[in-house]
Structure 1
Amino acid sequence: MPEAGPLTSAARAGDATLHEQRRAAPRTDPPAGGRGPGVMAKGLLRTARPKQWVKNVLVVAAPAAAGRLFSAHALTQLALVFALFTACAAAVYLVNDARDAEADRAHPTKRHRPVAAGQVPVPVAYAAGGLLAVLAPALAAWLTAPAVAALLVAYLAMQLAYCVRLKHVLVVDLVIVTTGFLMRAVAGGLALGIPLSRWFLITTGFGALFMVAAKRYSEAVQMAGKAGATRALLTEYTPGYLRFVWQLAAGVAVLGYCLWALEEGGVPHTSVLPWRQLSMVAFVLAILRYAVFADRGTAGEPEEVVLRDRALAVIGAVWMTMYALAVANW
């Protein structure tokens, strides 16, 4: 038998070290009996990310922009679309966590996720995700407009492709997450047959890109020098590039909104005040306030930023009031 060379010896030594590390690492599997129905049900619910469901409120964006929000038919359809989008998002989370279970076990935070911790077996997560992915579009085709069902199928295909491959592709990962937000905003309009204006699409799309890039920038700043503590793709971006993206997106979103506000569009001048034009002030202030957190590197989940900062919440409430008055032409 040929004598082992230096590379072979080093490889064997590395394998031995890795084996010892694996033996010494604490196990995350639950004790016997830790996968009871109650524990598994709670684990499935946690994997569906209830805190993220607030993002699906974006389905009311288009009807609210068109002033067609408050009717029994609209509220029923929007509640249904919200539930279906939530089911689709949950399906994606379940499949994602099932795929990443092994990698998540080595992560300081993600190892506590139910699938990685062993509360939910990987096959169960796959099965639950697949069931939701099939049922949600089917119910949409039966209970809502066909366009909504097609949108949900496209959303699932895009997000699953993101989980499998696209989350590792530079720039494309930003586009996929941004498009997910935009699809939520478009879904409500499709359900009620509302035409979507170019200003709505521009403002919503680039507003979403602003928040997504700000979050990525914050992650890159906070995790600088901590290899393996966050998503690997962040090491491929520079903070300067991500800063450029969120600044560009914020500028385009503001421009799109201002062009909408300054466009008369045949609206009669019967309002007490020019709410369309005045709402620009609140919108720009909201963007500037959010940019403070982005610049500090503390812009995490958008809903957490808004709820954490009282000033931003107040500015947002003022903007929504002005916007509603503008749409209602009061």
Structure 2
Amino acid sequence: MKYDTNQLEINKVQKSKIEEVNFDNLVFGEIFTDHMFECDYANGEWQNPKIKPYGPIQLAPSAKVFHYGQAVFEGMKAYKDEDDQIWLFRPDENFKRINKSSARLAIPEFPEEFFFNGLEELLKLEKDWIKKGFGNSLYIRPFVIATEECVSANPATKYKFMIICSPAQAYYSGEVRVQFSEKYSRAADGGVGAAKAAGNYAAQFYPTNLAKEAGFQQIIWTDANTHEFLEEAGTMNIFFRVGDKLITAPTSDRILDGVTRKSVIDLAKDLNIEVEIRRVKVSEIVEAARKGELKEIFGSGTATVINPISGFGYKGEKFELPKLEDSYGKSFKDRLMKIQYNQAEDKHGWRHLVK
């Protein structure tokens, strides 16, 4: 079915709240822009796309999202270069992934025309919220929820797709130490680990709290069957540098197909860095750390781009990683951000100009 982007209704705020925002002191994800995009699914089709002032939405207590967790989301960023042009980074991947996540939770897929038209018109309205400068960006959160008023245990017939935006600064989390999970898993074979389902994140909070009580900031999850293989770190994909080799787990129905992850793999190949995409045993990483061969662990994701990990714990033993001047993680982060901010050649065609 072809969707008409001329259907988009735009209702602007009378007065922006941007003057009330201290852009030098932003807390990630707490401040939101003036407008939001909204589109509803009813009678078998997506309809009535609109941009309107950011604000509360009204849902019945019986809305199925509250009872059966039909909710998926994405995380993206918009960047502004020195010529005031607005850029997105591989938005086609985010679009494909939110529909993949939706399909896994029996949510109707969202039309590509509505997604890109709504997103770009929203960003043009919020252009002043996107600040120039390396590290400044606008975090974009598309999401879908089930809105049908019914508590029967089956997929909803009504949904709401929305996009909200939040200004962000360079993400500094300080030194991060992780715990290799011995008991808890993020996802299992045949589950929803490859989907950005809201419930995946809720289920992480309790074991992560336990790790924090033990002196760690995050968890590297292990497989549900044996707890012998390392899979993801918190909300990030994970990379290990053993010697000069980069190792990361393959994507599967347990592991999220991260946009930053696949970009790091491509950049590593550009730099002739050997990359192994395979299952990673806990025992081999512990052994590499003991031998001094484990040079780096870092996570990759939209919010942080690359998050270096300074140490890890396993079975009561703690390991510290060397501090490297020429780390792979630092190099990948610098290269990715220069592409995102239109400061470097984009030979892979990852940048998307908002016109």
Does the TM-score normalized on the shorter chain lie above 0.5? no
TM-score, normalising length: structure 2: 0.21
TM-score, normalising length: structure 1: 0.22
Higher helix share: 1
From the CA coordinates, give the structure whose radius of gyration is larger: 1
Higher strand share: 2
